[in-house]
Amino acid sequence: METIKLKIDGKDVTTTKGTTILKAAKEFGIQIPTLCYLHLEDLNIENKPAGCRVCVVEVEGRRNLAPACATECTDGMVINTHNIRVLNARKTVLELILSDHPTDCLVCAKNGICELQTMAQEMGIRELHYQGEQSHYREDTSPAIIRDVDKCIMCRRCEMMCNEVQTVGALSAVNRGFMSVVAPAFEMNLDHSVCTYCGQCVAVCPTGALTEVDHTNNVIRALADPTKTVIVQTAPAVRAALGEEFGLPAGTLVTGKLTAALRRLGFNYVFDTDFAADLTIMEEGTELLNRLNRHLKGEKVALPILTSCCPAWVNFFEHQFPDMRDIPSTARSPQQMFGAIAKTYFADKIQVKRENLVVVSVMPCLAKKYECQREEFATDGNPDVDFSISTRELAHLIKQSNIDFMSLPDEDFDNPLGESTGAGVIFGTTGGVIEAAVRTAYEVQTGKKLENVDFKELRGMEYIREATIDFDGLPIRIGIAHGLGNARELLQDIKDGKSHFHAIEIMACPGGCIGGGGQPLHHGDSSIIKARQKAIYEEDRNKAIRKSHENPYIIELYEKFLGKPMSDKAHHLLHTHYFDKSKEITVE
């Protein structure tokens, strides 16, 4: 690599050719402000349209200012990042953005965590010298995501996520000039688009233009209703991220405090989605082995089997690969398995009528909001899961309820739906579902006990991974993809008959659920996602039981209620079917 020398703000700087001014400056402790720029290192995600123009710097000899994010350093460059010309331009540009932005910050969902607000504060903007007409658009509320695009600043991060990373294609820039905005085609609503509700657009939106549909008030109302028994399930990735909302470093596990907080909020029972994850393994693992063994006998079966616990992923193939909808496992997601068991087995157990039992889920995910509203997951109009709130919404709920999170004691989940294994925990990260499945499938298939349950070959952050696991002489080929764009590649291979896998795990969000659209905002720092992953594996390591089929309450559930995996009852409660949604896209 060629080394070049340049000067930034009077400092001699050495860097490699091809480095942007932004990166070179950062290496030397000069933080040039950015707004549209986003770089999730190691996840291959970068957005640098050079559109906001906040990061402009002066390059001596150049006619105009250069965007630091998209200008490569050259040898001998002399750069000023904060002289009066640059500061005036930067502030003016920021004022221009603000002049076309609502000023209802105090009641905005992003108040306090808005990158535009933070920047205005840091840049000392106290007056807008350029005011005028503001652009207005129709508000769009979908089952999971609210688009309040009056607040869109055209950073295009969401568009990049939706098109380049997820290859969904629901969002792109429409209109021209002052009315330019990011929207679904023909400015239709999201629910008329191919949106999967993965929420990655929300996860990267710097302002309040994209937010989740807030269900905290529904939860508060349910909790206040004396006729209702309200129970809660919390997904594995939540415990690895919730602490960030209370100032704890990323990757701090707060399982005990989370449980304590939920109890103080007034939930009658505090359960764990991990329990349902164990249940998922029982069903999905059995389905995998069924298909595998039939395949080994020479029958024609759909292989590879694809995991189905990610609702955004389900939406994705229903929209984009509807002809392949017989390939994914029919097992419902842990959230829905939990709901189905809670409103039957558990409701019976505590003698509460279905309609008086409210199931709330806390999820790192926005697609879960849509999933729990799917008609097939309701009985007589009563949904198995009533409300799904995100990690962020839970943090708000805790703060609203005057709970001093940091001083809470560690508490345990309630039983029976709160007991889980390490296998259930790792559902929260990419590679985790398939590792959990392997732990169980191996023992069921071979009849042997695993010496070591850590399948390190399945772990990591590579967007597409593959490994072959030796099932006592039988090589099982496994593929893993996170991020829907990567999933598309594997799916296309299957379609083209090029796939050699037996099983594939897919999670829609980069990093898996730990990087979900409902998690505390990472603001472009991918080390946060990696720290959460570490925490998930730590929780797994500390669990007494680490294989789903050894969960005593799962064993009891099958003995007393379901019979065996894939039984008729299990089928009815724990499995689903998929729809062809390719024709649902309509233009009004």
**Residues taking part in catalysis:** 284, 287, 309, 329, 368, 371, 376, 513
Please, what is the minimum distance in Å from the beta carbon of residue 580 to another protein?
26
Given 145, 154, 219, 362, the residue binding another protein (CB under 8 A): 154
Q: Which is nearer to another protein, 101 or 465 (CB)?
A: 101
Span near another protein by CB under 8 A; candidates 93-101, 202-210, 531-539, 576-584: 93-101
The minimum distance between CB 23 and another protein, in angstroms, equals 15
In the bound state with another protein, the residue whose beta carbon lies nearer, of 37 and 537, is 37
Whole-Å CA distances, 286 to 462, 479, 490, 504: 27, 18, 23, 15
**CB 515, CB 529: distance < 8 Å:** yes
Rounded distance between C-alpha atoms, residue 157 and residue 522, angstroms: 13
Q: Of 28-57, which residues contact another protein (CB under 8 A)?
A: 49-54, 56
Choose, by CB under 8 A, the member of 9, 82, 93, 290 that binds another protein.
93
| Best CA proximity match to 484, nearest among 437, 430, 535, 419 | 430
Size of residue set near another protein by CB under 8 A: 37
Output the CA angle 239-241-246, nearest 5 degrees.
105
Q: Give me the least distance between CB of 504 and another protein, in Å please.
A: 30
| Binding test (CB under 8 A) with another protein, winner from 78, 96, 248, 444 | 96
Token digits of residue 185: 């085609």
The only residue of 11, 17, 85, 560 in contact with another protein, by rule CB under 8 A: 85
Using CB under 8 A as the binding rule, the residues of this chain from 113 to 142 that contact another protein are 129-133
> To the nearest whole angstrom, how small is the minimum distance from the Cβ of residue 91 to another protein?
9
Instruction: Quote the CA–CA distance of 113 and 523 in Å, as a whole number.
Output: 9
Is 118 or 180 the residue whose CB approaches another protein more closely?
A: 180
527 binds another protein (CB under 8 A): no
Which of the ranges 94-102, 193-201, 378-386, 547-555 carries the binding residues for another protein, by CB under 8 A?
Answer: 94-102
Minimal distance in Å, beta carbon 101 to another protein?
10
Minimum CB separation of residue 97 from another protein in Å reads 6
Q: Which is nearer to another protein, 118 or 218 (CB)?
A: 118
Q: Write the interaction track for another protein spanning residues 168-207; mark x where CB under 8 A is met and - where it is not.
A: ----xx-xxxxxx---------------------------
Of 153 and 436, which CB lies nearer to another protein in the complex structure?
A: 153
Tokens of 475: 């090589």
CB 391 within 8 A of CB 518: yes
Q: Which is nearer to another protein, 89 or 105 (CB)?
A: 89
Q: CA–CA distance from 114 to each of 33, 475, 532 (Å)? A: 14, 49, 22
Min CB(87)–another protein separation in Å: 11
Least distance in angstroms from the C-beta of 22 to another protein: 13
Backbone angles phi, psi at 562, to 5 degrees: -90, -20
Candidate list 71, 200, 361, 548; residue touching another protein; CB under 8 A: 71
Number of other residues whose CB lies within 10 A of the CB of residue 283: 23
Rounded CA separation 66/146 (Å): 35
How near is the Cβ of 485 to another protein at its closest, in Å?
Answer: 17
Q: Supply angle C-alpha 181, 186, 191, rounded to 5.
A: 95
What element of type H or E holds 14? strand 11-16
List the one residue from 14, 16, 88, 542 that touches another protein (CB under 8 A).
88
- Cα distance between residue 314 and residue 547, in whole Å: 26
The smaller minimum CB distance to another protein, of residues 137 and 197, is found at 137
Candidate list 21, 25, 34, 100; residue touching another protein; CB under 8 A: 100
Classify residue 297 by burial, with Cβ atoms within 10 Å: 0-12, 13-18, 19+.
exposed
* Contacts with 343 (C-beta within 8 Å, 6 or more apart), sequence order: 354, 357, 359, 379, 382, 384
- What values do phi and psi take at 296, rounded to 5? -65, -30
Burial class (CB within 10 angstroms; exposed 0-12, middle 13-18, buried 19+) of 280 = buried
**Strand ranges for 119-189 from DSSP E:** 140-141, 145-147, 172-174, 181-183
Tokens representing 325? 């909808």
Residue 39 Cα distances to 16, 22, 93, angstroms: 19, 11, 22
Please identify which residue in 21, 59, 79, 97 interacts with another protein, judged by CB under 8 A: 97
**CB closer to another protein, 43 vs 153:** 153
Q: Which residues bind another protein (CB under 8 A)?
A: 49-54, 56, 64-65, 67, 70-72, 85, 88-89, 92-93, 96-97, 99-100, 129-133, 153-154, 172-173, 175-180
